[in-house]
Amino acid sequence: MLRFLVLTSLAAIVLTGPDSRPKFLEDIGARVVGGDVASSNSWPWQVSLQYLSDSNFEHTCGGTLIRRGWVMTAAHCVDTSRTWRVVLGDHDIYCFEGKEQYKGVSRVYIHPSWDKNNLAAGWDIALLRLSSDATLNTYVQLANLPPTGQILPNNNFCYITGWGRTQTGGQMSALLKQAYLPTVDYQTCSSSLWWGSTVKTSMVCAGGSINSGCQGDSGGPLNCYVNGQWVVHGVTSFVSSSGCNTNRKPTVFTRVSAYISWMNGVSI
């Protein structure tokens, strides 16, 4: 039996109706709860993106370590001015376990076409330049990224990971969770009974049926099994306000393979 994760971030994007534009919403209210706890550090490229609030750092979004000094996340996670940090090698976000690496963020690169007033246009991707390079080890590793333009087939085996809320109005999960989210091809996802024109070719859909999962934090990875290895094909972007697990409204991700050239230009 599959279980589920729920989106939680400062700025989750949801759709309020079939003809509405996506909007920000701090917390959709968990309609689908649970999620399988991942084995400790089994997704070693997953990061916790945190912001300074008073004198403490608070978790807000996920992210992916793509180079020793660079993290990929969603533009909507970082399009406000804050003091950011990234935690690498984390599993329990409320407990220091001795494996974590804490890195400041020296600069935020939001895709130049991102427009928070036109969310359905896409471009929901950003890169974070870390203040110092990560040390790669058993607990902290670089993600594999897809080649430019690669499109996954329908029902490709994928998992989403994050520290989503475990119940309506509840606390974020202390432990990293994972949920099974098979891909939905563009032809299906963009059809009138699914997301319609809200979904663009630069996006990836996953889930959207009674047996699909839901997402953890915005900005986190969609980890897909391709040719014998895990590859990060998506950056968590938006869901339906009807609930993460709404039939025919799969979770929508920024398609990583559409942005390889841009990322290479920024991070070289």
Q: Work out the pLDDT band at 178, boundaries 50, 70, 90.
A: confident
Catalytic residue among 124, 190, 212, 237: 124
Express each pLDDT in 179-206 by its tens digit.
888 999 999 999 999 999 999 999 999 9
Report the alpha-carbon distance of residue 151 to residue 34 in Å, rounded: 30
User: Looking at the DSSP assignment, which residues form a beta bridge with residue 226?
Assistant: 229
Q: What is the pLDDT of residue 209?
A: 66
Catalytic residue among 9, 48, 59, 76: 76
Segment 163-178 mean pLDDT: 67
Does 124 qualify as catalytic in the annotation? Answer: yes
Mean pLDDT across the chain, nearest whole number? 82
What kind and span of H or E run contains 108?
A: strand 101-110
Report the alpha-carbon distance of residue 114 to residue 262 in Å, rounded: 13
Does 218 qualify as catalytic in the annotation? Answer: yes
Segment 200-220 mean pLDDT: 74
Q: Looking at the predicted structure, is the pLDDT value of residue 17 above 90?
A: no
Q: What is the pLDDT of residue 72?
A: 98
Segment 226-250 mean pLDDT: 86
Q: What is the pLDDT of residue 224?
A: 97
Q: What is the pLDDT of residue 171?
A: 58
Q: What is the pLDDT of residue 23?
A: 38
Using a pLDDT cut of 70, give the percent of the chain over it: 79
Segment 236-263 mean pLDDT: 87
Report the alpha-carbon distance of residue 70 to residue 92 in Å, rounded: 22
Q: Is the dihedral of CA 171, 172, 174, 180 positive or negative?
A: positive
Question: Which amino acid, one-letter code, is at 183?
Answer: T
Name, in order, each residue with C-beta under 8 angstroms of 203's C-beta and a sequence gap of 6 or more.
Answer: 122, 186, 237, 252, 253, 254, 255
What kind and span of H or E run contains 12?
A: strand 12-15
Q: Between the CA of residue 129 and those of 70, 109, 186, what are the distances in Å?
A: 5, 8, 32
Token readout for 62 is: 């996920």
Q: What is the pLDDT of residue 130?
A: 98
Catalytic residue among 9, 190, 202, 218: 218
Instruction: Residue 243: name the closest of 5, 10, 65, 75 by CA.
Output: 5
Does 233 qualify as catalytic in the annotation? Answer: no
What CATH number should be reported for the domain whose range is 143-257?
Answer: 2.40.10.10
Q: What is the pLDDT of residue 98?
A: 92
Q: What is the pLDDT of residue 14?
A: 45
- Of 99 and 15, the one with more pLDDT: 99
Compute how many other C-beta atoms are within 10 angstroms of the C-beta atom of residue 203: 23
Q: Between the CA of residue 117 and those of 10, 21, 24, 121, 148, what are the distances in Å?
A: 16, 9, 10, 9, 27
- Of 245 and 133, the one with more pLDDT: 133
In this structure, the dihedral spanned by the alpha carbons of residues 234, 185, 237 and 181, taken in order and rounded to 10 degrees, is -70
b/e burial code for range 81-112 (CB count within 10 A of at least 16 → b): eeebbbbbbbbebeeeeebbbbbebeebbbbe
Q: What is the pLDDT of residue 244?
A: 63
**Cβ atoms 203, 255 nearer than 8 A:** yes
Q: Looking at the predicted structure, is the pLDDT value of residue 170 above 90?
A: no
Task: Report the range out of 26-30, 39-43, 115-119, 128-132 with the highest average pLDDT.
Answer: 128-132
46-141 placed in CATH 1.20.1440.230: no
What value, to the nearest 5°, has the Cα angle with vertex 72 and ends 68 and 76? Answer: 150
Q: Where are the domains of the chain?
A: 46-141, 143-257
Express each pLDDT in 55-112 by its tens digit.
999 998 999 999 999 999 999 999 999 999 999 999 988 889 999 999 999 999 999 9
Segment 164-172 mean pLDDT: 54
Q: Work out the pLDDT band at 10, boundaries 50, 70, 90.
A: very low
